[in-house]
Amino acid sequence: MQGSLDGVVVIDLSRALAGPHAAQMLGDLGARVIKIESPGSGDDTRSWGPPFVAGTDDRSYSTYFLSCNRNKESIALDLKSADGQDTLRRLIARADVVIENFRAGVMERLGFSTTALAALNPGLVQLSITGFGHDGPEQDRAGYDQIVQGEAGLMSLTGASPADPQRVGTPIADLLAGIHGVVGVLAALVERARTGAGRVVRTSLLSSIVGVHAFQGTRTTVAGQTPHAQGNHHPSIAPYGLFPCRDGNVQISVGSERLWATLCAEFGLDPDTPGLATNPERVANHARTLAFVTEAFADQDAAPLLDRLRAAGIPAGKVRTLPEVYAWDQVHSQGLLVDVEHPALGTITLPGPAIRFFDNDGTHETERSRTTHTAPPTLNQHDAQIRAWLEE
């Protein structure tokens, strides 16, 4: 068996990132994912770069596309042609899940409305992802990650100060929409096992960001505050953040009064310093708290300081570059990198799935999603195989 979703067929009509990321996650879990692409150009992300990597076929391959399309097959279909429409109908009739992230109305104009898809396959689970939602006054807006990060409030919480709004360094709105979409699909598949009926699952980049506002959201809705960016320090816990030392920076998380007492004991500080004795006081006197800790770390080098903090039981860490992350033995121990064989690039390494599976007592790892992974496909790579399967 190649993962928990072995035997599930997913038709991926999506492009760019939110939908492809959802389809990739389902592929990681063992589903057969058939990616429908436009003839000639394919998914938009095939042209997103640099960086591009040269293949043995004298073509260049976008590393962006490689990030979100492993464990998929590719077929190029012109959905305005008779062959493209007929082939897609036949695929949908045999599928369990279809994923699309077109703007509102596109699927209807192509003749593949939710009603039409349900008629073709009553057990079909349909995942549709939009930028701002499928209804409401702004349903027609195109969804681009950074725009939604701003519109959904995330950028107001990110950056050095309220005057310095920053986007998150990955397309987090797209990625969260894909993850939320997968949650909906899996729930719909469980429901279908009971009822036999499919379900339409809808999410958006907007809803996925608002859905992870967490404590910043309740600061607004319950406490009536307006949260704002305040750099690398937590708004409700202190000290919790990035602190300079003699030759770099370290991060600490002092999330309890016990840890505060431990930190103070380790560095000869008075935990009962007026105005700093409790977490609410330290948060209220944030600048004093930061100065208090920074002074204690000022004559320390980062590596021995981190060792000292960890030995004392204080959560601490450094800020790694991505090459450092991918070289880290802990990352390798979690199976977070996978090697795949690309038809034009040879062996390439990809950041892998984040979920592992064990038997029911947790002592034996049964699978890491799939036992093997396949490279992101070249455009139309699997046309013949997919058409042959449809004739079986």
Judge whether 132 and 205 are in contact, CB under 8 Å. yes
What φ, ψ does residue 291 adopt, rounded to 5°? -65, -40
Contact of 193 with 37, CB cutoff 8 Å = no
Query: How far is residue 376's CA from residue 374's CA, in Å, rounded to a whole number?
Result: 7
CB 368 within 8 A of CB 80: no
Please tell me the distance from the alpha carbon of residue 172 to that of residue 166, in angstroms, as a whole number. Answer: 13
Q: What are phi and psi of 334, to 5 degrees?
A: -95, 5
Q: Does the annotation count 174 as an active-site position?
A: yes
Type of residue numbered 260: W
Residue type at 7 in one-letter notation: G
Cα gap 202→131, rounded to integer Å: 11
CA distance 384 to 380: 9
**Beta strand pairing status for 248-253 and 316-317?**
antiparallel
Which is the catalytic residue, given 28, 135, 174, 301?
174
- 10 Å CB burial of residue 219 (0-12, 13-18, 19+) is middle
Task: In whole angstroms, give the CA distance from residue 29 to residue 2.
Answer: 8
Residues annotated as part of the active site:
174
